[in-house]
Chain A
Amino acid sequence: MAVVSVPHGDALAHDGGPDQLYVETRELRLQGFLLFLVSDVVLFASFIFAYLYLRNTGQGWPPAGISRLDVAFASVNSMVLFGSGCTMHYALENWKHNNFTKYAVCMVATIVLGLMFLGGQGYEYTTLMLKDHVTWSGSGIFGASFFTLTGMHGFHVAVGVIYLTTLLLQSLHGKYTKDKYFGLTAGTLYWHFVDVIWVVLFSLFYLI
């Protein structure tokens, strides 16, 4: 397939039509999306390093008067999120191989698992706040760093659930084809990113 350069500011007037335009701009959109993910990595890295710095300057961790976090429940919740990463990956694979039914099942499973993770996080927050009296503003560095980082991650998961639901609806309405599915690739990249960030946060807050 011959690659024709697109004149600046005149992309839609391209002779090859929308398909040719898609092929030519796909790499650019992919690079742009990867740059977005890198910027998100920087955002999380900033907060994580701030957390590690504050943690290492304190007197023991968690500070006196704050009970230790529930590793068992967090492990189950982590499994839910990691499992959703697997289902998302196979959703994209099934789309590539034209198995629409399996794709839809995997997408729905991913969305449901994402919602379950958010529910688990809500349960954990409620338990911490009501039972252990750990709050964002009233528990010093521990509460502030825990709720800020896990809350920021939870926000990303919530956005991801909305994003994947939108992708599923778009695919049901025929927006994507076997050859044109960049949105699904981007959604899978985003969801994997959310998973990987949780690997780091889970290790830092619950295991170390």
Chain B
Amino acid sequence: MHIDWVIVERTVAAVGSVIVFVVAAIALKNDWKTPGIENQVFKVMLGLLAIGGVIAFLAGIDVLGRFSGAA
């Protein structure tokens, strides 16, 4: 049986990115009211991590990465 690894990779990436986004969003929500410098930095990092999840999801479903030099 022939396995199309690109489809497998894209599926794994899409599912994984949804999990990452949800986990990062929940962590951000839980940390939202915590004080302190490090927690402010954590919030920024978690927000960017959630954005990374969205970007990877869009790449996984072949919406991003079709332009210019991307395959």
Contacts and interface: CB of A to CB of B under 8 A. Distances in A.
Given A30-B38, A85-B24, 13 more contacts: A34-B37, A61-B68, A69-B69, A72-B10, A75-B59, A82-B24, A89-B27, A90-B23, A189-B42, A196-B49, A199-B52, A207-B55, A207-B64
Interface of A: 27, 30-31, 34, 61-62, 67-76, 78-80, 82-83, 85-86, 89-90, 93, 185, 188-189, 192-193, 195-196, 198-199, 202-203, 206-208
Interface residues of B, number: 36
Interface of B: 5-6, 9-10, 12-13, 16-17, 19-20, 23-24, 27, 30, 37-38, 41-42, 45-46, 48-49, 51-53, 55-56, 59-60, 64-65, 67-71
Chain A at the B interface: mostly helix, strand, loop or mixed? helix
Nearest to A62: B69
B59 to A, nearest CB: 5
Nearest to A37: B41
